[in-house]
Structure 1
Amino acid sequence: MKFTELPLEDSVLDAIEAMRFDECTPIQELAIPIILQKRDLIAVAQTGTGKTAAFLLPILNMLSKGGYPEEAINCVIMSPTRELAQQIDQQMEGFSYFMPASSVAIYGGNDGILFEQQKKGLTLGADVVIATPGRLLSHINLGYVDLSKVSFFVLDEADRMLDMGFYDDIMQIVKLLPKERQTIMFSATMPEKIQQLANNILHEPEVIKIAVSRPAEKIIQAAYICYENQKLGLVRTLFEEHVPDRCIIFVSSKLKVKEVTKSLKAMKLNVGEMHSDLEQAQRDHIMHEFKNRRINILVATDIVARGIDIDDIRSVINYDVPHDSEDYVHRIGRTARANNDGVAITFVNEKDQSRFKSIETFLGRDIYKLPVPAELGEQPEYNPRTRANFSGRKMQGKRKFTGNKGRKPNNHK
């Protein structure tokens, strides 16, 4: 479907044309008409499917028609990270180019000037506020943020926000919103905790789901079936002869990031760490060094699995098996971009075998198992427990969810 086939205002279509968009992605084709009908929506779609435009375009379309309060915040978009908030804000600038809509991005950092700019945007009543939960609450607690006239509330990458511990922050913000509003939730996965959040904040939502795409064929996938204490030895072996030009090692927790990074530095490897305990300035510095090849190896939690815009990462190592198939796809999707080849290697300890088997089932193929080097000792057998192994235990099923202002946009970043 072409965007011109959707009931969008000329000002929005002009911006779409100027940005050289023509055909809708599947999530845009399904979501935009529902949002234009002012229905609450849950959309399950992974990063890279065009979901930002799927909610920005219809919201801007409705704002362009007028009838919304002057000098008030009309839309709040929640984002798990500063990086995603910036990306959304940049797209907002492009899509609103031909209409008098304003936006402000609210995220953390140590820059006092930045905080004052954010305060100004919030007090003047920007049409669209794009914010990370913690930073928005910091402004709210200072007493000058009025969310009582918000008409649109969007949660982007809701699953990641909950993984990062933002549930209470989100619910504090929701309490300040009017009950009569349109709520839109985008999530890459739909676990039970997302369904519970949706039950709490959405009203009779429409639900759409775009199937998670399989990893690119160019990615060479392999796995080591190993014991936990063999993992560092495997890294040492992999990097013994050749350290990759650019590699991301994904681990399960920020504590483990610190431990693995310390061990790799002891091996004299050029490594950086990325996790939520770092100040924003530190995270920016690490990403700058990684992008410019002054750091070869980045050890990270899933905070960088989405939204990272680096096209020539040559290898990904899953030090720990990701929680689900979607996370696996997001992680290894960091490699083999921009027509490059890529390698993805996963370390599978005994307790993670069942989880890894679920990933193989999702992919519809067995991932090649590499032998652990003899000097690291014997490796465990690959014997994942399946549902049939859980005799006498009930498998708990998942519940089915039913459930115009004359202000110029901010300058591009």
Structure 2
Amino acid sequence: MSSSSSDNEDDSSESSDDESSLSSESESEHDEEHAPVESVPPKEPESPDNMAVDEDYLTKHQNVFSKFKRSAIEQPAEEAPEASDEDVQDIGPLPQPTLPRDYRLKITQSNHLDWLSKPIYSKPEHTWPFETFDLSDTMKSNLATGGFIDAFSVQVTVLEMMLKDTKENKLKPDSNGDILVNASTGSGKTLAYSIPIIESLCTRVVPRVRAIILVPTKPLVSQVKQTLLQLSKGTSLYVMNLRNDISIREEAEKLTGNPPDIIVSTPGRLVEHVTGNSIDLNSLRYLVIDEADRLLGQSFQNWSRVLVERLEAKQSSMVESWKLRVQKLVFSATLTTDAGKLAMLHFYKPRLVIVNDEEKLVNEMFSTPRTLSEFTLQFSSNKSSLKPLILAKFLMKSNKLSNVLVFTKSNEASIRLSKLLSLVFDGFGVSMVVEYLNSTNNSTMARKKLLMAFDSGQVNVLVVTDLIARGIDVLSITDVVNYDMPNSSREYVHRVGRTARANNDGRAYNFVFGKGEMRWMSRLLRDVSRSREVEMVEEMFLDEGDEEVYRKCLGELQNIVER
């Protein structure tokens, strides 16, 4: 009890008199708990009227009580409604709103991807004369004029499938299915879809938009259009490419005033016209997606969703009208098997064609041309400062003095390397013309002029970036140099695919400095299918006195930059 008294003394210094009395009452209650228990009936609780009133307490809070009484008089209390059985709530989980379904996943589940595991394989060396196909005389003549004598593997396979579809569609409009093609760059994919489309449309009577071809860049738009114009000579087909250098309104007037049969465009420009209702899709027969890996990997104003929704609305009315389905033709050297990306296109009876030596399917289908030879040149990391010199000496010692395409990582790197290579070649007394091509000088006319000079041999070495790699279709390129490392296996395939095109021989050289770059390059090469093994080159190309010449060239470059 002494400790309890001590506690109460401490509390009394901080409490009011009322709290001290309550503390003493608690002491007496504590004593009663230890007293003998007697059988005493419980007391009735005192009513409020009988309870002792603390006058000091009432006086202290008189104002509060007065206000409470006035409010009680002014607002009489309402009778509380009796509780009914209906008001009793069941203690259970509240109903939850329906969770939104992911649109992509829904489509993926409804369209089984079994066809991915059952592709149609075609050997790259498989060729067949165009004369043996059931083509019109006009088409055969145009092919011969263009120098196309034999059909390459991808052309043989796609031609056979699409020519058969065209015949069967005359009796059964929904017999044809979509086609996806995985073939290396330079294998002739443009001809593979251009020939059957022109053959199918050449007998049309009323001009309407019947084929749309989508490519990722403006240079590819021009290339594809030129191929279509060459193959459609002697027919009344109108081929039009959508351009960014004229206004949408002016181009829309051309589309509505004189509808083309075939449109070649980038996705962004096409979506602008589709949403503006300047392109009528009611008669569309073919939708070609070229370089599909790049188009599906970027949004381009959600082109796939906008276009597919318009086509799906058109197909939904097929029950009432006897119309052919839109056939989707997808082409790529690095075709993805990602179900989410493929499901966006809503394929109908899809068929997958793979042009490859080996019959195997991987997550990402990367393959190099069959006639390509690949080499890796490995150097120690302390030689990286001499990288431009090593490249120049390699080209001179290997006698690669023309038709060489060099890839760098940026616009700045391509400009600097082209100027430095020119100085180094001059320093060693070798006459070489080195130019660069990147987004800073990629206008239509400048690009065309530069590529013509490169193709004819007036430009010996062309230094470029990845951004414009896919737009270069020059058959005379014999050597590709990966001066800077590619960022992915996909980019590697498109780089080296600039050579060894149309069954011509080609070579690709990978410059690797240090163990880190070697590990990265080995990883990229493992993901790519090829017909020949990659060879290692360990020769040292520098001679005594080369570094002194190089230092003088660096000084000259510095003077040029400072002017």
State the TM-score, normalized to the length of structure 1.
0.71
Give SS of 1:222's match.
strand
Residue of structure 2 equivalent to 1:86:
222
Residue of structure 1 equivalent to 2:377:
223
Residue of structure 1 equivalent to 2:306:
172
Aligned residues: 363
Residue of structure 2 equivalent to 1:355:
523
Deviation at 1:94, TM superposition (A): 2.5
Residue of structure 2 equivalent to 1:332:
496
Residue of structure 2 equivalent to 1:189:
334
Which amino acid is the alignment partner of residue 92 of structure 1?
L
The structure-2 alpha-carbon separation of the partners of 1:5 and 1:320, relative to structure 1 and needing over 3 Å to count, comes to same
Residue of structure 2 equivalent to 1:76:
212
Higher Cα radius of gyration: 2
Which amino acid is the alignment partner of residue 316 of structure 1?
V
**2:474 aligned residue (294, 299, 309):** 309
Which amino acid is the alignment partner of residue 250 of structure 1?
F
The structure-2 alpha-carbon separation of the partners of 1:199 and 1:9, relative to structure 1 and needing over 3 Å to count, comes to farther
Residue of structure 1 equivalent to 2:484:
319
1:367 has 2:535 as partner: yes
Give SS of 2:254's match.
helix
Residue of structure 1 equivalent to 2:189:
51
Which amino acid is the alignment partner of residue 223 of structure 1?
L
Return 207-216 or 240-249, whichever deviates more.
240-249
Which amino acid is the alignment partner of residue 197 of structure 2?
I
Deviation at 1:169, TM superposition (A): 3.2
Cα distance between partner residues in 1 of 2:133 and 2:452:
40
Residue of structure 1 equivalent to 2:278:
144
Residue of structure 2 equivalent to 1:378:
none
Which amino acid is the alignment partner of residue 29 of structure 1?
V
Q: How does 1:105-124 map to 2 (within 5 A)?
A: 105-108=241-244, 110=245, 112=246, 116=250, 120-121=254-255, 123-124=257-258
**2:263 aligned residue (112, 119, 129):** 129
Residue of structure 2 equivalent to 1:198:
342
Contact persistence 2:371–2:506 (CA under 8 A) = no
Residue of structure 2 equivalent to 1:210:
355
Query: Which ranges in structure 1 are unaligned for 5 or more consecutive residues?
Result: 376-413
**2:405 aligned residue (235, 242, 248):** 248
Contact persistence 2:404–2:461 (CA under 8 A) = yes
Contact persistence 2:213–2:289 (CA under 8 A) = yes
Contact persistence 1:14–1:98 (CA under 8 A) = no
Contact persistence 1:89–1:105 (CA under 8 A) = yes
The structure-2 alpha-carbon separation of the partners of 1:35 and 1:226, relative to structure 1 and needing over 3 Å to count, comes to farther
Residue of structure 2 equivalent to 1:237:
390
Which amino acid is the alignment partner of residue 208 of structure 2?
A
Deviation at 1:77, TM superposition (A): 0.6
The structure-2 alpha-carbon separation of the partners of 1:9 and 1:343, relative to structure 1 and needing over 3 Å to count, comes to closer
Cα distance between partner residues in 2 of 1:60 and 1:113:
29
**2:290 aligned residue (146, 149, 156):** 156
Which amino acid is the alignment partner of residue 182 of structure 1?
Q
Which amino acid is the alignment partner of residue 227 of structure 2?
Q
Deviation at 1:161, TM superposition (A): 3.0
Contact persistence 1:47–1:307 (CA under 8 A) = no
Cα distance between partner residues in 2 of 1:24 and 1:173:
32
For residues 316-358 of structure 1, the C-alpha deviation after alignment (integer angstroms, 9 at most, x for no partner) is: 234114632x754553354578989856233261551442451
Give SS of 2:264's match.
strand
- Over the residues paired in the alignment, what is the CA RMSD in angstroms? 4.1
Which amino acid is the alignment partner of residue 533 of structure 2?
R
For residues 66-96 of structure 1, the C-alpha deviation after alignment (integer angstroms, 9 at most, x for no partner) is: 4x8x342111011122222222222212222
Cα distance between partner residues in 2 of 1:13 and 1:288:
27
For residues 17-55 of structure 1, the C-alpha deviation after alignment (integer angstroms, 9 at most, x for no partner) is: 554544432222211232231321001112332222221
Residue of structure 2 equivalent to 1:405:
none
Which amino acid is the alignment partner of residue 308 of structure 2?
V
Give SS of 1:176's match.
helix
Cα distance between partner residues in 1 of 2:194 and 2:326:
16
Residue of structure 2 equivalent to 1:411:
none
The structure-2 alpha-carbon separation of the partners of 1:315 and 1:11, relative to structure 1 and needing over 3 Å to count, comes to closer
Cα distance between partner residues in 2 of 1:21 and 1:281:
27
Contact persistence 1:257–1:273 (CA under 8 A) = no
Cα distance between partner residues in 1 of 2:480 and 2:526:
22
Return 99-108 or 284-293, whichever deviates more.
284-293
Give SS of 2:511's match.
strand
State the TM-score, normalized to the length of structure 2.
0.54
Contact persistence 1:321–1:355 (CA under 8 A) = no
The structure-2 alpha-carbon separation of the partners of 1:293 and 1:24, relative to structure 1 and needing over 3 Å to count, comes to closer
Residue of structure 2 equivalent to 1:388:
none
Contact persistence 1:316–1:344 (CA under 8 A) = yes
Cα distance between partner residues in 2 of 1:263 and 1:276:
13
Which amino acid is the alignment partner of residue 236 of structure 1?
L
Contact persistence 1:78–1:156 (CA under 8 A) = yes
Which gives a bigger RCO, structure 1 or 2 (Cα 8 Å, sep 6+)? 1
Residue of structure 2 equivalent to 1:392:
none
The structure-2 alpha-carbon separation of the partners of 1:214 and 1:186, relative to structure 1 and needing over 3 Å to count, comes to closer
Return 6-15 or 97-106, whichever deviates more.
6-15
**1:261 aligned residue (414, 426, 429):** 414
Which amino acid is the alignment partner of residue 124 of structure 1?
N
Deviation at 1:153, TM superposition (A): 0.4
Which amino acid is the alignment partner of residue 185 of structure 2?
T
Deviation at 1:176, TM superposition (A): 3.3
Contact persistence 1:106–1:136 (CA under 8 A) = yes
Give SS of 1:190's match.
strand
**2:438 aligned residue (237, 258, 274):** 274
Cα distance between partner residues in 2 of 1:27 and 1:231:
41
Deviation at 1:98, TM superposition (A): 2.9
Residue of structure 1 equivalent to 2:465:
300
Query: Which ranges in structure 2 are unaligned for 5 or more consecutive residues?
Result: 1-127, 166-175, 316-324, 357-366, 423-433, 544-563
The structure-2 alpha-carbon separation of the partners of 1:124 and 1:358, relative to structure 1 and needing over 3 Å to count, comes to same
Residue of structure 2 equivalent to 1:98:
234
